[in-house]
Amino acid sequence: MAGIITLIAAGALLVVWSSVSTSDSTTEFSFHKEPHGTWYIDLPDYPGPKGDLAMVAGADDMLDYLAKGKTRVEVEMSEQPFAGALELVRVKLGEPGGGAFYKPTNHQIESVWLCDVTLYALGKFPEKIYFKAVG
């Protein structure tokens, strides 16, 4: 299934966010855009097919916004607000295999869908995700 986070939303060097994320911590994920235009989260240890790591359904639009024309972007994320962060609020959980829908509260993008790879990357579908580009 194609997707994650997004972000959002959206990547990358973390296997389970909840095991290292505290109220004061943030985690960075890397994303890259291939020449054909598809964004992917960089999760080198992910056990499934590459297609699962594709960013679609609004997550790609958020990455385009964050990357400002570049083909690679590092995104800092947390379940707690932090300086300069945008906010995603979970509005609907899908069935197993159905991901979750998020609403950006301080951005014009209408909706961001995060697939079940989010569970691999973050350990759950957080109620809120705060994020910003850092590289």
Per-residue pLDDT tens, the chain, 135 aa: give them.
333 333 333 332 223 333 334 345 878 888 999 998 999 988 788 787 888 788 788 888 888 988 998 999 998 888 888 888 888 899 988 766 688 888 888 777 788 888 887 777 778 888 988 888 886
In a domain, 11, yes or no: no
In a domain, 1, yes or no: no
Question: Can you tell me whether residue 130 is helix, strand or coil?
Answer: strand
Beta-strand pair 39-41/27-33: antiparallel
- Cβ atoms of residues 77 and 27 within 8 Å: yes
63 lies in which domain range?
A: 17-133
Q: What is the distance between the alpha carbons of residues 62 and 19, in angstroms, rounded to a whole number?
A: 26
What's the structural domain count of the chain?
1
In a domain, 112, yes or no: yes
In a domain, 100, yes or no: yes
In a domain, 55, yes or no: yes
34: number of Cβ within 10 Å: 10
In a domain, 72, yes or no: yes
